[in-house]
Amino acid sequence: MQRSLKRGKKVSKILAFVILLLVSVIFLLPLLWGLFGSFRSHDDFYLHPESFFPSKISAFTFDGYAELFSKTEYVSSEANEYYPIWNWLFNSVIVAFGGTVIYLIIASLAAYAFVFLDFKYANKIFYFLICTMTIPGIISTTPQLINMNLLGVYKTLLGLIIPSFGGVYGVFLIKQFFTGIPKDLIENARIDGASNLKIFLKVVLPLGKSAIFVEGLFGFMGAWNDVQWAQLIIGNAPRTTWTLAYGLKVISDQCESYEAITLSLASAIIAMIPIFIVYLVAQSKIIEGVANTGIKR
């Protein structure tokens, strides 16, 4: 009996490993195809479109990356195909990092208020906010555009950052974690004469850093990869105002021939590198934060 149970557990583990391995391969294949494809020549794509790797050594080239970084300067009004990628990278960092930091401040303060401050209709207000998560974001697109125009931030990076301040999911995620903090700690701090701001900074924030870090990473990735809102806000702005994600979208739209595929793949790999590095550095924190909050995204 025990042998059969052990054998069954071993078989289930092997089966689970095989299934996870197959799923991982399925998800990795497009990424690897894009990575190797960014080093293929135009002619190699044309002659061997089905090939995964460069068909020969001479087909291995850095032309896509060279073209991407060689057209960073505006030459004349006739040369519309230029890619100020360093501006795009800088703009993406400003939008993703700046918007995420400000949003985390707002979301964590709101979560603190809902958990540790006793005010009238707190639960009803929170439930109302949760209900707004069911509303598709596309519905608020036109009102948001009107607001950005009235605020005078249309065609600017601020127009990309401001709408991110009102996200509800971050408040929900951080609140779920703050709920697990013993309220005795808060009461003791209040007895010692600590203000709410001091309690938030000295007690709650250090204990809730895992959840805040996870939500910050999600927010950063969302802002870094956002294309739709960037197209609406800065699509008609000068190219130096674009973000990397929108610039990549424009380059991809130009892929009407094999000559443009290598350029598009190279730009996609460049856009992926910062997120990949952040994930590698923060992998343990992500697992810790998701496990502690009990929330899966």
Which residues are paired to 60 by β-bridges?
40
pLDDT, tens only, 44-92: 777 777 677 777 776 678 877 887 777 655 544 444 567 788 888 899 9
By residue count, the chain amounts to: 297
> Each residue of 142-154: pLDDT tens digit?
888 898 999 888 8
Collapsing DSSP to helix, strand or coil, 81 comes out as coil
Which of the four pLDDT bands, split at 50, 70 and 90, describes residue 265?
confident
Query: Poorest-confidence range of 10-14, 51-55, 103-107, 257-261?
Result: 257-261
Query: Given pLDDT bands bounded at 50, 70 and 90, which one contains residue 94?
Result: very high
Helix (H, G, I), strand (E, B) or coil at 117: coil
- The whole-number pLDDT of residue 91 equals 93
Average pLDDT across the chain, whole number: 81
Phi, psi of 82 (to 5 degrees): -130, 150
Asked if 245 and 92 touch (Cβ cutoff 8 Å), the reply is: yes
C-alpha span between 132 and 136 (Å, rounded)? 9
* pTM for the structure as a whole: 0.78
Contacts of 143 (CB under 8 A, 6+ apart): none
Type and span of the H or E element at 18: helix 2-37
Residue 40, strand partner residues: 60
Per-residue pLDDT band at 292 (split at 50, 70, 90)? low
Candidates 2.40.160.20, 1.10.3720.10, 2.30.110.10, 1.20.210.10; CATH matching 85-293: 1.10.3720.10
Asked if the model's pLDDT at residue 294 lies above 60, the reply is no
In this prediction, what percent of the chain has a pLDDT beyond 90? 9
Residues of the chain with CATH 1.10.3720.10: 85-293
Question: For the CA atoms of the chain, what is the radius of gyration?
Answer: 24
Residues 6+ apart with CB under 8 A from 38: 64, 65, 262, 265, 266, 268, 269
Euclidean distance between CA atoms 181 and 173, whole angstroms: 14
Q: Phi, psi (5° rounding) for residue 60?
A: -80, 120
Percent of the chain whose pLDDT exceeds 70: 85
- pLDDT, residue 95, reads 92
Determine the pLDDT at residue 295.
Answer: 44
pLDDT category at 108 given cuts 50, 70, 90 is very high
Q: Would you state the pLDDT for residue 37?
A: 80
Q: For the residues 215-226, what does the mean pLDDT come to?
A: 87
Q: For the chain, how many helices (H) and strands (E)? A: 16, 0
**What are the C-alpha distances in Å from 295 to residues 13, 31, 112, 169, 291?**
25, 27, 18, 11, 7
141 and 232 Cβ atoms separated by less than 8 Å: yes
Contact status, residue 95 vs residue 296, Cβ threshold 8 Å:
no
Taking only the tens place, the pLDDT of each residue in 1-14 is 566 666 767 778 88
For residue 296, the model assigns a pLDDT of 43
Distance CA 262, CA 264 (A): 5
Give rounded-to-5 percent helix, strand, coil for the chain. Answer: 75, 0, 25
Average pLDDT estimate for 266-286: 78
Average confidence (pLDDT) over 247-262 = 72
Is 270 a residue whose pLDDT tops 70? yes
- What is the spatial distance between Cα 208 and Cα 165, in angstroms, rounded to a whole number? 20
Q: How many CB atoms lie within 10 A of CB 75?
A: 10
In the block, tokens 């109302």 appear at 128
pLDDT of amino acid 78: 43
Residues 229/16, Cβ–Cβ less than 8 Å = no
115-131 pLDDT tens trace: 888 888 888 898 898 88
270 in Cβ contact with 68 (< 8 Å): yes
